[in-house]
Chain A
Amino acid sequence: MKLLIISLIAWLLAHSPVRADDALYVVVNATNGIERLSHHEVVDIFMGRDSTFPDGKDVTVFDNSSDIDTRALFYRQLVNRSLAQVSSYWARLQFSARVTQPRKIDQSSTLLELMNRTPSGITFVRSADLDPALKVVYKFDP
Chain B
Amino acid sequence: MIPNRQNLYVKVAVAIGGGAFLAAVLACLYFFWDARETKLKEVTNQLGQIALTVQKTASVALYVKDVELGKEIVEGLEVNDLVAGALLTADSGDWVSSSGYAADDVLQVLEFDIPHPFFAGEVLGKLKLLPNTQYIQSRATEVALKQAWMLALQSALIALLVSLLVHKTLTAPLNRLTSNFENIKPGDNNPLSVPKYHAQDEIGSLVRGINQLVANLNQSIEKERNLRQKTELLERKFRLIFERATAGICLIDKQNHVLVVNEAFERLCGTDSIDNQTSLCQWFEEEAELDRFFNELRGNLNLNHVEMELQLRSQQTEQLKWVHCLFSKVEDNVGASSEMLIEVMMYDITERTYRERMIRFEAEHDPLTQLKNRRAGERLLLEMMRKTDQTRALMGVLLIDLDKFKPVNDIYGHEAGDAVLKSVAERLMKLAGNGIVIRWGGDEFLIGISNVDKDYNKLRELAQELLIQIARPVAIRGNLSCQVGASVGIAIYPHHGHTLEALLEAADVAMYEVKDQGQGSFRFGKISSGAA
Which residues, 23 to 58 on A, are CB-close (under 8 Å) to B?
40, 43, 47-49
| Pick from A80, A92, A97: contact of B60, CB under 8 Å | A92
Q: Closest residue of chain B to A40, judged by CB?
A: B119
Q: Is B68 an interface residue (CB 8 A)?
A: yes
Chain A residues whose C-beta falls within 8 Å of the C-beta of B57 in the assembled complex: 92
Chain A residues whose C-beta falls within 8 Å of the C-beta of B68 in the assembled complex: 95-98
Shortest distance from the beta carbon of B47 to any chain A beta carbon, whole Å: 23
Q: Is B336 an interface residue (CB 8 A)?
A: no
Q: Is A89 an interface residue (CB 8 A)?
A: yes
Known pairs A89-B117, A98-B64; list 9 more (Cβ under 8 Å): A47-B118, A48-B64, A78-B118, A92-B57, A92-B60, A93-B64, A93-B69, A95-B69, A98-B66
Q: How far is the CA of A81 from the CA of B65 in the complex (A)?
A: 21
Q: How far is the CA of A92 from the CA of B69 in the complex (A)?
A: 9
| Pick from A47, A79, A80: contact of B64, CB under 8 Å | A47
Q: Is B294 an interface residue (CB 8 A)?
A: no
Q: Is A99 an interface residue (CB 8 A)?
A: yes
Query: Does the CB pair B118–A99 fall under 8 Å?
Result: no
Known A89-B60, A92-B57, A93-B60: A99·B117 in contact at CB below 8 Å: no
Q: How far is the CA of A49 from the CA of B124 in the complex (A)?
A: 12
15 contacts between A and B (CB under 8 A): A40-B119, A47-B63, A47-B117, A48-B64, A49-B63, A49-B65, A80-B118, A92-B57, A92-B60, A93-B60, A95-B68, A95-B69, A96-B69, A98-B64, A98-B67
Q: CB-CB contacts of A83-114 with B at 8 A, as 1s and 0s? A: 00000010011011111000000000000000
**Interface SS of chain B:** helix
Chain B residues whose C-beta falls within 8 Å of the C-beta of A48 in the assembled complex: 64
**Interface size, chain A (Cβ < 8 Å):** 17
| Pick from B66, B117, B119: contact of A96, CB under 8 Å | B66
Chain A residues whose C-beta falls within 8 Å of the C-beta of B64 in the assembled complex: 47-49, 93, 96, 98-99
Chain B residues whose C-beta falls within 8 Å of the C-beta of A47 in the assembled complex: 63-64, 117-118
Q: Closest residue of chain A to B60, judged by CB?
A: A92
Q: CB-CB contacts of B61-80 with A at 8 A, as 1s and 0s? A: 00111111100000000000
Shortest distance from the beta carbon of A69 to any chain B beta carbon, whole Å: 21
4 A-B pairs with the lowest CB-CB distances in the bound complex, closest first? A79-B118, A96-B66, A99-B64, A48-B64
**Interface size, chain B (Cβ < 8 Å):** 12
Shortest distance from the beta carbon of B172 to any chain A beta carbon, whole Å: 77
Chain B residues whose C-beta falls within 8 Å of the C-beta of A78 in the assembled complex: 118
Chain B residues whose C-beta falls within 8 Å of the C-beta of A97 in the assembled complex: 68
Residues on A lying within 8 angstroms of B by beta carbon are 40, 43, 47-49, 78-81, 89, 92-93, 95-99
Which residues, 28 to 74 on B, are CB-close (under 8 Å) to A?
57, 60, 63-69
Shortest distance from the beta carbon of A46 to any chain B beta carbon, whole Å: 10
Q: How far is the CA of A56 from the CA of B68 in the complex (A)?
A: 24
Shortest distance from the beta carbon of A84 to any chain B beta carbon, whole Å: 15
Q: Closest residue of chain A to B63, judged by CB?
A: A49
Q: How far is the CA of A95 from the CA of B66 in the complex (A)?
A: 10
Q: How far is the CA of A89 from the CA of B66 in the complex (A)?
A: 13
Chain B residues whose C-beta falls within 8 Å of the C-beta of A98 in the assembled complex: 64-68
Q: Closest residue of chain B to A90, judged by CB?
A: B60
Query: Does the CB pair A93–B66 fall under 8 Å?
Result: yes
Q: Closest residue of chain B to A98, judged by CB?
A: B66
Which residues, 82 to 108 on B, are CB-close (under 8 Å) to A?
none
Chain A residues whose C-beta falls within 8 Å of the C-beta of B67 in the assembled complex: 98
Chain A residues whose C-beta falls within 8 Å of the C-beta of B65 in the assembled complex: 49, 98
Q: How far is the CA of A123 from the CA of B69 in the complex (A)?
A: 27
Q: How far is the CA of A40 from the CA of B119 in the complex (A)?
A: 9
Shortest distance from the beta carbon of A119 to any chain B beta carbon, whole Å: 24
Chain B residues whose C-beta falls within 8 Å of the C-beta of A96 in the assembled complex: 64, 66, 68-69
Chain A residues whose C-beta falls within 8 Å of the C-beta of B60 in the assembled complex: 89, 92-93
Q: How far is the CA of A19 from the CA of B68 in the complex (A)?
A: 44
Q: How far is the CA of A98 from the CA of B67 in the complex (A)?
A: 9
Q: Closest residue of chain B to A39, judged by CB?
A: B119
Chain A residues whose C-beta falls within 8 Å of the C-beta of B69 in the assembled complex: 92-93, 95-96
Q: How far is the CA of A97 from the CA of B72 in the complex (A)?
A: 13
Chain B residues whose C-beta falls within 8 Å of the C-beta of A99 in the assembled complex: 64, 66
Most buried by B among A43, A47, A89, A96: A96
Chain B residues whose C-beta falls within 8 Å of the C-beta of A89 in the assembled complex: 60, 117
Q: How far is the CA of A81 from the CA of B119 in the complex (A)?
A: 11
Shortest distance from the beta carbon of B515 to any chain A beta carbon, whole Å: 197
Q: How far is the CA of A99 from the CA of B67 in the complex (A)?
A: 11
Chain B residues whose C-beta falls within 8 Å of the C-beta of A43 in the assembled complex: 118-119
Most buried by A among B57, B63, B119: B63
Q: How far is the CA of A80 from the CA of B69 in the complex (A)?
A: 24
Chain B residues whose C-beta falls within 8 Å of the C-beta of A40 in the assembled complex: 119
Q: How far is the CA of A40 from the CA of B122 in the complex (A)?
A: 12
Chain B residues whose C-beta falls within 8 Å of the C-beta of A95 in the assembled complex: 68-69
Q: How far is the CA of A116 from the CA of B303 in the complex (A)?
A: 164
Q: Closest residue of chain B to A51, judged by CB?
A: B64
Q: How far is the CA of A81 from the CA of B57 in the complex (A)?
A: 16
Q: How far is the CA of A96 from the CA of B63 in the complex (A)?
A: 13
Shortest distance from the beta carbon of A124 to any chain B beta carbon, whole Å: 16
Q: How far is the CA of A105 from the CA of B400 in the complex (A)?
A: 208
Shortest distance from the beta carbon of B76 to any chain A beta carbon, whole Å: 13
Q: How far is the CA of A95 from the CA of B57 in the complex (A)?
A: 13
Q: Closest residue of chain A to B67, judged by CB?
A: A98
Q: How far is the CA of A49 from the CA of B122 in the complex (A)?
A: 15
Shortest distance from the beta carbon of B319 to any chain A beta carbon, whole Å: 153
Shortest distance from the beta carbon of B378 to any chain A beta carbon, whole Å: 175
